[in-house]
Structure 1
Amino acid sequence: MKVVGYADKLSVEPGAAITFMVSSEPGRFSAQLVRLIHGDENPAGPGYKDVTISSTLDGEYEGGEQKLRTGSYLRAPSSAELDGARDLTVQTWICPTLPSKAVQTIVSRGGADGFALRLEDGRLTLRLGSASVSVDQTVRAGQWYFVAAVHDAATGRVLLTLEPSAGATSGLGARLDTVVDAAPTSGAGDVLVAAEVTAEGEVGNFYNGKIDAPKIFTRALGDDELAALRDDADTAPTDAVAAWDFSQGIDTWSVVDASGRGHDAEAVNKPARGMTGRNWTGREMSWKHAPSEYGAIHFHDDDLSDAAWTPSFEWTVPDDFRSGVYAVHLTSGDHEDYVPFYVVPPLGRPTADTAIILPVFSYLAYANEQMLGPTGVYSGQLAGYPRQPQDKYVVETGLRSLYDRHTDGSGVCYSSWLRPIVNMRPKYDMPFLDMGEGSPHQFNADLHLIDWLEQKGIEFDIITDLEVHRDGVSRLNDYRVVSTASHNEYWSEAMLDAGEAYVNGGGRFMYLSGNGMYWVTALDEATGTGVEIRRSGPAQRCWDAAPGEATLSSTGEPGGLWRFRGRAPQRWLGVGSIAEGGGVGRPYDRQPGSHDPRAAFIFEGIADDEQIGAFPCLVNSWGAAGFEICQTNPKLGTPEHTVVLASARDFDTSDWGVFSEELQLSAIWDGEIRADMVFIEYPNGGAVFGVGSISWCGSLSHNNYDNNVSRVTENVFRGFASETLPA
């Protein structure tokens, strides 16, 4: 993509400003504000729709290429004490995860005239100015090592020590004691952990793996002192000028210098915190319970939390601006990009009785996913991938989603919106859907619902996960009806609390999603610009957190599925995830519950024997129950008074698979793959209507919006919006 951008906010209220960052390799580019209606270009549907909005941001701008600079590290300020030092000792523990990479820096200060403790082709190396020395032994991936580098400026002596942790196979250690004609280590420059300033003046040579408790001394330590540090002995020297303790402030991106000398560091690009250290015993599985055993940070050369591009333009949303889904359409010649954002009303000032929750936490989870790319679980399984310009950009730049793995094979657990999210775009299809032909998913699939609402003249506000998370039930209480879109998979505890309180307090909730409220998700409160998950099984997952590392660093809460924290979606929605499939879906058959007088309004105008959704769909090609589906389960909390209105059955098991959390022993399962449509009454006039299918919204526009999926959905929207539920 020659033109690509992002915004500093996902959602914005009228009267507030939003800033856009654009990279335009051709140079000059144009920007035009549009309101997005329908982003799916499939000729079987209504086609792409937007509305051009005249605004003060419209126009041409000077531009240039802005690059993505990946790689996580720590930056700590230098000091006169460090700048004036000639002697040096650097000591830490490392657990490398990609030792085959040519140059990886562990601790450094300054540029070419400074020092860098590195791994070079897997060998511990000390660079002093232009001189460097290395041990002969290469390190092994996943092995903890005590490492130290000592330089005595007066004699030129350099000592390098590499010692594996206790219990390791013999022969993995190394020691080098030599004399080097090196420049003094004095001079200015910040201290970097897991990176260094390269000869080109850029931060680079990023390290992959864990680092625990790095220390710098401004003197040459002796062998006995190094041994005491290795053994955590009481006699270990305490005069380090910098001693970073990663076990403190795990829920922040600040790193404490326990020496008290003022070299506190800041993490760049969010390396993984809350990670097991070199002294982890396995007796506690959460950093909250034994922080001293979680003194490691895991760094990656492909971490990216903030692209930090130069702003291209800012726009203040007019005070009377309509809530909706918007984008800035960027063009330069034949190149284009859309940068979506969401205008939401202020809390307590709704402009409609109905709100649609757009699942931005889920958008962030899937942001720039490479499941078919080099780091994906399905890499190489789709011929011709990547075909779309967005997928090509993701592969070329190495962007990652929460479904991908880092270059060292560890799972990606943080996702930020301060970078281009090129699959959160109109006109984009998820490649492996619809038997590999591709169809909309997440953002572009959610526009199917937006288009239908516009077509039916149903007034609505847009809110996002961010507003629900921050404002709680008070945000939902602004509305008589609240509806999800097609796939609200990633919810926080605050959001679940809000949803349950809303329906119990009289709110009407429409669950037009499949596989919803599934993964424990947290907003990174320290930055407010991204989310965190920790994948932990049993679950339908593409990577596993390492032992002891399934606790979220941002909140300290257990990761994994909400189901295993006693908060399965069945508990309040009646249905929860059961299966997924990439091929055709199935229609719903009405069940006896559909004749309950309380549900009569839902099926007004629909015959008793009429299958619901037995026609083409814009997601997975056919059937209103498709892609990922949900069903009732009393064992997981489906309320006894849940009314099952309709069910979809007879899924082709050669294409459809049951979610792995349902399986026991050797993949034994004796249940039924089924999607259930439900209705639940709550106190104070509250109610839930759920369809349990990602494909439902993709069926709304069939036959020019005249179909029974559309009719059921309209009946519920209008019935739920009434003062009292229709009898």
Structure 2
Amino acid sequence: MSIQDHKPPGVIGYVTPLSARPGERLDFKISSLGDRAITANVMRLDCCDPNPLGPGLKSEQVEFGLSAVYPAREQKTYLGSCAFGELPTIPVTQDLTVELTVRPGFVSATDQTIFSLQDNAGTTGVALIIRNGRLFLKNLRSPAQLEDLDLSLKLKAWCKLEVSFSDGDVSMRTSHIGTSKIEETSRSFTGMRGALVGVDHICLAALWNGHPKDCYNGTIEAPRLSVASQEAPESGRTIIAQWPFTDSGNSEWVSDDIDPSLGLQLINLPMRAVRSSSWTGQHMDWKVAPEEYAAITFHSDDLSDCAWETTIALTVPDGMPSGVYGLVIDNEIATDTIPFYVLPGANSQRQKIVFLAPTLTYMAYANHARGNFAGPLEARVKDWGAYPHNPEVVGSFGYSTYNRHPDGTGVTISSRLRPIMTMRPGYLVYFDERGSGMRGFPADSHLTDWLTTKGFAFDVLTDEDLDRDGVDALSPYDVVLTGSHPEYHTRRTIDAILAYRQAGGRLMYLGGNGFYWKIGRDQTLPHILELRRAEGGMRVWASKPGEYYNQLDGEYGGLWRRNGIPPQAVAGVGFTAEGNFEGTYYLRTNESFAEELAFLFEGISADERLGDFGLSGGGAAGFEIDQACTELGTPEFVTVVAASEGHGSSFETTYEELLTPGVIDGGPRPYGGMRSNIVYGLDENGGGLFSVGSITFCGSLSHNGYDNNISRLLENCLRKFLSTPRRAGDPHAPSSTDTIPPIGSHSHDT
């Protein structure tokens, strides 16, 4: 995906960390166009849906001890990855040779720097660049001066380069790996005379100018520098710096074999654990054969950290209730709302309910440019006063793991240390003719707004908190509620949810396509997630064979189903089919009429269509839908109580479900086919499951002033889970003593 220059938003920012407890600090990094001062206040975010036919945007200001005005400045973002570091002293009397092997991934008319030998500021030195596939030398003292080497590189083919500098003379040799083709050139460039004087740094894959510039899209392996041997000139050369690139698990540094104190810093997390030119295909795990993965792939749109300065530092006030909040900033020409989460205080009493915000999924989709903004969607954004910025128009903050780099490969790294436009109140994803067209963060406010309106007190945790703290983060709660699309999980988050259920906890999975992709994280880089789309699955790009193992944690990527934990084993249902962003309804199953399940449908007629309405696609069952499957781990204690019908022709079965077209892996299911399943059950250990198997379910909760059969079904189940005692002697039993609000109660007018 090409990066274009666009006028930046008038004001925009991000926060780190994403969540904090009372007494802890949040740093807001803000860019204000024209260095305009800003005002700020904190709002509790209840409903983030701008649809005028729904509840509307709902928020409430809270006191956070903010100042009246804050100085701010415009802060730049620089995309592109590289490796930059200090060089040993280069004897000026000796010639210097740079050797490295490259595989260009993208050819363009713009300059792409393969390497630069330079001073720290990038004002002196020499750079080898590729333009339209041809190689040139650039004198950094006179950047407009290019020397044509009369050599070219083939797209996506390995080639070893040797560039030798001796005063004003430059010679170069290219050896095309896999062929017998060798090309050489030797030139005397007057303009290059003395170009290496003052050189003390090297930058691979970019020119370093305080930030990456003229970035390279492609792979580099085995760079090294050598000088002629003074002791025995006839015997060859002395290596003065060498970076083998074999440690694929180190995402921030590359060591120098000759002088470890002079390692290279990896800027913007380029892709490691990639195949090198020596990959044989016999080893699929980089940890087993590191010499076959001794390469790094760089991209001109990589971004791991905007590295902005802190504009506002907030400490969460003591006693601040756990919840979803936003810092609203205004510089008189524009506004922005930066969401964040307040966790329950370390020593505070917990509520009975916790909402597990799927922030890792928000990160995976962060700044997803979909190619659908121009036209009706853009017009609706203006008509509704929805969030105005879209990654298709503002491309300066990087893209999502659903987009591709300029070389056509998928984006594997996502970061929260950048403005995430898709994680904003009022952000619209689709032009939804029957609803709002929201997903992710704003769509999940359909649930939190319902909880608030119905008077159910709740705490909030994020996926990142769960990944850090494990099951102990969940154990105080009677009920854990997910959002509408908790798709991306680490091994630690999956293990924590399973342990919580096994200890008698109740999980309410209120979405679709959940617990699907496995992601990698490094606890020393908590702002980063990594995705390798291995083997099967519904995917917009596929990882290359041999590149299925993460660089961040060394684990195998891909689907959780391919990693031995299908979604059904976690939530009772798993991703089965998807179609257009449209919804339909459920019907009750015969099993749902069992006497012990009567409470679940109290107040709902036996023949009602459940959820043939809603703000997400017009129906509670839609877009991405899940089914129960005993063979894949659906627990025996759950019952399919409702199944959807009426899905349109756009819906198709997920690839991993099929053995051959039309043949489902595992055979027919009681409520299979193109249907979503709602399951309910209480385990003998006191644990419980209620899963709806649809992304669009929560969009139906507010229909008819929150008085509808989807709202009633959810309320009936939640009340059952809250009123049923946990297993006697359960060490994870909650300490909360909150009362359950009366049926039909509303905490405020809607």
TM-score (normalised: structure 2): 0.88
1:447 maps to: 445
Q: Which among 451, 456, 462 is matched to residue 460 of structure 2?
A: 462
**Aligned-partner SS, 1:645:** strand
Are the aligned partners of 1:75 and 1:193 in contact in 2 as well (CA < 8 Å)? yes
Say if 2:717 is the partner of 1:721.
Answer: no
Instruction: Check 1:474–1:383 CA distance in 2 against 1; reply closer, same or farther (3 A cut).
Output: closer
User: Could you list the per-position Cα deviations for residues 192-244 of structure 1 after superposition, in whole angstroms to 9, with x for gaps in the alignment?
Assistant: 1111135xx653111110000111124489xx99xxxxxxxxx996x322111
CA–CA separation in structure 2 for the residues paired with 1:560 and 1:582: 24
Gap change, CA 1:302 and 1:448, over 3 Å in 2:
same
Q: Distance in 2 between matches of 1:277 and 1:142?
A: 12
Per the alignment, residue 376 of structure 1 pairs with: none
Aligned to 1:606: 604
Give the corresponding residue for 1:630.
626
How far did 1:310 drift?
A: 1.9
- Could you tell me which residue of structure 2 aligns to residue 331 of structure 1? 330
Alpha-carbon distance, 1:549 to partner: 1.1
Structure 1 residues 565 and 252: CA distance shift in structure 2, 3 A: same
Displacement of 1:2 after TM fit? 1.2
8 Å CA contact retained: 1:480, 1:721: yes
Instruction: Give the unaligned 5+ runs of structure 1.
Output: 226-234, 374-378
Residue type at the aligned position of 2:160:
F
Give the aligned residue type for 1:98: F
Q: Does 1:619 align with 2:616?
A: yes
Query: 1: distance between equivalents of 2:315 and 2:555?
Result: 37
Q: Could you report, residue by residue, the CA deviation over 1:308-350 in whole angstroms, capped at 9, with x for unpaired residues?
A: 1121110111121110001111122251111000011256745
Counterparts of 2:92 and 2:166 in 1: how far apart (Å)? 14
Aligned to 1:144: 158
Q: Which residue of 1 aligns with 2:82?
A: 73
Q: Please give the secondary structure, in 2, of the residue aligned with 1:262.
A: helix
1:414-441 superposed Cα distances (whole Å, 9 cap, x missing partner): 1111000011011111125558x85111
Deviation of 1:610 after TM superposition, in Å, equals 2.1
Give the whole-Å Cα distance in 2 for the aligned partners of 1:389 and 1:699.
25
The 1:414/1:347 distance shift into structure 2, 3 A limit, reads farther
* Whole-angstrom CA distance in 2 between matches of 1:159 and 1:188: 19
Give the distance between the partners of 2:388 and 2:200, measured in 1 at CA.
Answer: 41
Residue 555 of structure 1 aligns to a residue in which SS?
coil
Relative to structure 1, is the Cα distance of residues 112 and 161 closer, same or farther in structure 2, using a 3 angstrom cutoff? Answer: farther
Q: Which residue is equivalent to 1:280? A: 279
CA apart distance, 1:686: 0.6
Equivalent in the alignment of 2:673:
672
> How far does the alpha carbon of each residue in 1:360-419 deviate from its partner, in whole angstroms, 9 at most, with x for none?
00000110001227xxxxx98988699662216754426200100012211001111100
Q: Deviations over 1:448-492 (max 9, x none)?
A: 111100111101000010111111111110211111011100011
Match of 2:61 among 32, 44, 52: 52
Contact 1:411 1:545 in 2 (8 A): yes
Say which SS state the counterpart of residue 239 (structure 2) adopts. Answer: coil
Distance 1:381 1:394, change over 3 A: closer
Partners of 2:379 and 2:52 lie apart in 1 by: 22
Whether the 8 Å CA contact 2:87–2:241 is kept in 1: the answer is no
The letter for the 2-side match of 1:662 is E
Secondary structure class of the residue paired with 1:59: coil
Aligned pairs for 1:178-257 within 5 A: 178-181=187-190, 182-184=192-194, 185-197=196-208, 203-219=212-228, 239-257=238-256
> Could you tell me which residue of structure 2 aligns to residue 556 of structure 1?
554
Say which SS state the counterpart of residue 617 (structure 1) adopts.
Answer: coil
The structure-2 alpha-carbon separation of the partners of 1:86 and 1:32, relative to structure 1 and needing over 3 Å to count, comes to: farther
Counterpart residue type for residue 55 of structure 1 = F
- Which letter maps to 2:514? G
CA 1:526/1:64 → structure 2, altered by over 3 Å: closer, same or farther?
same
Distance (whole Å) between structure 1 residues aligned to residue 20 and residue 320 of structure 2: 11
Other-structure match for 1:593: 591
- Could you tell which deviates more after superposition, 362-371 or 549-558? 549-558
- Judging changes above 3 Å, is the alpha-carbon distance between structure 1 residues 434 and 635 closer, same or farther for their aligned structure 2 residues? farther
**Distance change in 2, residues 1:312/1:627 (3 Å):** same
* 1:63 counterpart residue number: 72
Distance 1:649 1:212, change over 3 A: same
1:113 matched to 2:113? The reply is: no
Q: Distance in 1 between matches of 2:714 and 2:67?
A: 37
Cα pair 1:626 1:694 within 8 Å, conserved:
yes
Q: Which residue is 1:165 aligned to?
A: 177
Shift in CA distance, 543/249, structure 1 to aligned 2, threshold 3 Å = closer
- The alignment partner of 1:258 has SS state of coil
Deviation for aligned residue 1:607? 2.3
Q: Given the alignment of the two structures, is residue 399 of structure 1 paired with residue 394 of structure 2, yes or no?
A: no
Q: Select which of 10, 13, 21 maps to 1:5.
A: 13
Report if the CA contact (8 A) 1:83-1:187 is conserved: no
Aligned residues: 697
Secondary structure at the counterpart of residue 449 of structure 2: helix
The 5 A counterparts of 1:468-547 are 468-547=466-545
Determine what percentage of the aligned residue pairs are the same residue: 38
Comparing 573-582 with 362-371, greater Cα deviation is found at 573-582
Q: In structure 2, how many angstroms separate the alpha carbons of the residues matched to 1:710 and 1:399?
A: 38
Q: What SS class does the counterpart of residue 601 from structure 1 fall into?
A: helix
Deviation at 1:77, TM superposition (A): 2.1
In 1, distance between residues paired with 2:301 and 2:593?
55
In 2: Cα distance, 1:115 partner to 1:330 partner: 44
TM-score (norm 1): 0.91
